[in-house]
A and B are shown apart, each in its own frame.
Chain A
Amino acid sequence: MENIEHPENTFETRELNVNLGPQHPATHGVLRLMLDLDGEVVKRCTPYVGYLHRGIEKLGEHRTYFAALPLSDRLDYISSMNNNVGYVNAVEKLFGIEAPERAQFIRTIVAEMGRLSSHIVWLGTHVLDIGATTPFLYAMRERETILDLFEILCGARLTVSYPRIGGVRNDVTQEFLDRLYEFVLDFPKRMDEYETLVTQNRIWKDRTVGIGVISAEEAVNWGLTGGTLRGSGVPYDVRKFFPYDAYDKVDFDVPIGKNGDCYDRYIVRVGEMRQSNRIIQQCIEKLPKGPVMAEEAKFTLPPKDMVLKDMEHLIHQFVLITKGPSVAEGEVYVSSEVPKGELGFYFVSDGTGKPYRMRVRAPSFVHASVLPRLCEDGLIADVIANIGTIDIVLGECDR
């Protein structure tokens, strides 16, 4: 009888430890979270990363600047093009050279294509995690088109290594530009379709509005970047603050949110996709003529056909490949805006052909560290929404 009067005495309550991941489809890779649950409320959240650690920073120290470029593909494998662009820009700054204008425009085009493909995957998987299956199926269609275009451009679909130190690997073909332009004209309509499915969806709004809120000051203090920061209303975008390539020659807006919740971050990234589309269109229209590779015999690889014909070029090629260029002693930190946020490369040069220290500032690493702040005292179902909204790729987080 006593038990019925005090129902809390009839069963035992205790905190429950749940291990989420590392093999869990909603963690977008090999992220592991230890959750201490009190009922459905997350009391403590501890992320564990490093399952994909390959020592890219260490490997970079043992390779010449040219040979370390493919390592950057393996950082964020969803948008390898953006990593390449970030890497070559940092190395060019260290060398003190500049790519020709045409190459800069081409890099801007491919970087924005990379951003589109990454954001589309993010959109598809994020809404899929929360329960909307349909957009995911269509998202893969757009991504496929972009990957096909990459294949036309350089033969590779995922790990491209197309931008090179001092320019790009090869010039674009007319077929590539035509098909890309067709895609660009079509894309806003596709975006409208996604937005019809998601943006005003009742269930979507219930699951994301007011979830994972982080204020502007706090977001800056945590070092968040990219869409995750702009969702809180801080207009920090490396493309605007430190323009590289052709970003100062095109016109685009930086969408920002207001409340800093999952929904605003979604709105920001969707807006970014439309802006990327605008950038690509302008770049194709303004694409200047000229060479696509800088001619700095001491720092850039000579054209392959000349290497086979001319002694001097052959010597340059040989020296650059075996010994690496002789770089001034010093250090640079150069960042670029990748789909996930600010990707920075910090090089310390000791005057030899290999970097003395290559540091990769990975946005996903910082974003993963903020997960406890977003998840604690929330519901366990919102953990999934939070993992999706910070948009992490573990290849970049673990390096």
Chain B
Amino acid sequence: MEPLKIADRLKERFADEVLEAKEFRGQVSVTIKKNKLLEICNYLHDDQDLLFDYLVDVCGVDYLGKKDKRFQVVYHLYSMRHRHALRLKAEVSENDAVIDSVMPVWVGADWHEREAFDMFGIVFRGHHDLRRVLMPEDWEGYPLRKDYPLKGPEKEWRGFLEVLEKGQKFREFQWEE
């Protein structure tokens, strides 16, 4: 099915939820409110004409100062049977950075959601194991946010200080005569 037609169907069915459908370079993105995300995903996954069985990717985007709602969680969907693709974007505000996990629909969302939590601090409600995945567990801050400096925080991470300390100790080590 043509991606724009899929967007129309979504608009018909979830009139209050769909905010915008946009095409760029032949790819269609549908922006939605986050409240009925699971319902929409279930519909996209189960409907016989749509059958989006493959969740390509989940990622966060930080629109600091550009949009009212700071974050977007972007889902790239694809249907193996019908061979059509769709991009779903859910808006998440900074004060209430919580969104439903889509793991009940696609298990593959597991680590992608953990990464979005790790990098943006977006909490996925219902995720079975929401821990940091790439950064150390006791890391402070969310690296991919726009207000996070490129070279990292001023204060070194505890683990790195430990390594430096140990290196210094080994350098000063004296073998007994």
Which positions in A face B, CB cutoff 8 Å? 49-50, 53, 55, 57-59, 62, 93-94, 96, 217, 220-224, 234, 236, 241, 328, 330-333, 335, 342, 344, 346, 348, 350, 356-357, 359, 361, 365-366, 368-369, 398-399
Contact = CB atoms under 8 A, between A and B. Distances in A.
B135 A50 contact: yes
A346 B108 contact: no
Contacts of B106: 221, 223
Interface of B: 24-25, 27, 29, 53-57, 59, 61-62, 66, 74, 76, 80, 83, 87, 106-112, 115, 119, 132-136, 143-144, 148, 150
B66 A333 contact: no
B80 to A, nearest CB: 6
Interface of A is mostly: mixed
Nearest to B119: A57
A333 B57 contact: yes
Nearest to A333: B76
A328 B132 CA distance: 34
A221 B53 contact: yes
Question: Which among B59, B87, B115, B150 has the highest number of chain A CB atoms within 10 Å?
Answer: B59
B133 A357 contact: no
Contacts of A241: 83
Given A62-B150, A93-B25, A366-B111, A361 B54 contact: no
Contact of A332 (B24, B55, B135): B24
Given A55-B143, A58-B150, A241-B83, A398 B57 contact: no
Given A241-B83, A330-B25, A49 B134 contact: yes
B150 A332 contact: no
A53 B134 contact: yes
A94 B66 CA distance: 21
Nearest to A96: B25
Given A58-B144, A221-B106, A361 B135 contact: no
B143 to A, nearest CB: 6
Given A53-B134, A58-B144, A344-B57, A332 B83 contact: no
Contacts of B54: 220-221, 223, 236
A59 B109 CA distance: 24
23 contacts: A58-B144, A58-B148, A94-B25, A220-B54, A221-B53, A222-B108, A330-B24, A331-B27, A331-B87, A332-B25, A344-B56, A346-B59, A346-B76, A348-B61, A361-B57, A361-B59, A361-B76, A365-B112, A366-B112, A368-B111, A369-B108, A398-B134, A399-B134
B66 A350 contact: yes
B71 to A, nearest CB: 11
A333 B135 contact: no
Contacts of B24: 328, 330-332
A32 to B, nearest CB: 12
Contacts of B62: 357
Contacts of A223: 54-56, 106, 108-109
A224 B148 CA distance: 32
Nearest to A224: B108
A50 B57 contact: no
